Amino acid sequence: MKLSLLAVLLLSSTGAFADERYVVKDEGMFAPTGRHVEFPDRFGWRGYEAKLDFKFDSESRRMSPDSVLNITVHKSEGGNWSYRCRARDSKEMFANVNFIYGRGILVVVQCRVNPDKFADAVNLDSDMVGEPTLVFSAWIREGKAEVGTQKGFYFQDGGQMRSSVMAQYASQNDDPTDLAVQFATTETLAGGAKPWQAGVYRYQPMPRFVP
């Protein structure tokens, strides 16, 4: 009974924000994951930009069909790779919406990236990249959205991935927390740091030393 009452109070306090539209922008570099050769180093990625434009239903905890996640990867040798995820296809883009008492609403979005498209980001054949998934999270507190810490890419085994250079980046348990690419937000206002340069990061995970 106490648990049910707590859930009702929590939903009522956050429901006023759940049906609003939010836009979260993020940019930065990449944090180490502890692998022998970091993914961005191997494939020449030097920075990223992301934008999550979303709305969700507080009862079903599902994103609205017009929610969109955009990602742009800046390459070391010049040029960019961009991709757009749309929630109108729930198999392509979906989210876990968690109401965390005392902290706010945590939205963790996952986007299944088309291997044919992702192949252009790493200059490999599409059957060599497995099943890429983009993860991006956001917190909603007091009616405002801000970037979360869980964000990057993980890769499920598929195609000929195990026989390619992508093998070491495969997720061990198809786990969205087992990120082979970890985004690290650059604090552009802290110490005059600029995008794509060494700056101050909001989050730096401990190395996992996965070969």
Residue 191 maps to a domain:
no
Residue 193 maps to a domain:
no
Please tell me the predicted confidence (pLDDT) of residue 206. Answer: 41
Residue 190 maps to a domain:
no
Residue 194 maps to a domain:
no
Compute the average pLDDT of residues 20-29: 94
Tally the domains of the chain: 1
Residue 198 maps to a domain:
no
Mean pLDDT of the chain: 82
Output the DSSP codes for the chain: -HHHHHHHHHHHHHHHHHTS-EEEEEEEEEE----SS-HHHHHTEEEEEEEEEE-B-TTT--B-TT-EEEEEEEETTS-EEEEEEETTSTTTEEEEEEEETTTEEEEEEEEE--HHHHHHHHTS-GGGS-EEEEEEEEEEETTEEEE-S--EEEEE--TTGGGSGGGGGB-SSS-TTS-SEEEEEB-TTSTT--TTSS--BS--PPP----
Q: When comparing pLDDT for 64 and 5, which is higher?
A: 64
Residue 128 maps to a domain:
yes
Q: Model confidence over 50-62: pLDDT tens digits?
A: 999 999 877 777 8
pLDDT greater than 80 at residue 211: no
Please tell me the predicted confidence (pLDDT) of residue 6. Answer: 38
Q: Which domain holds residue 33?
A: 2-185
Provide the pLDDT confidence category of residue 197 given band limits of 50, 70 and 90: very low
Residue 87 maps to a domain:
yes
Residue 209 maps to a domain:
no
Please tell me the predicted confidence (pLDDT) of residue 130. Answer: 94
pLDDT greater than 90 at residue 132: yes
Enter the pTM of the model: 0.80
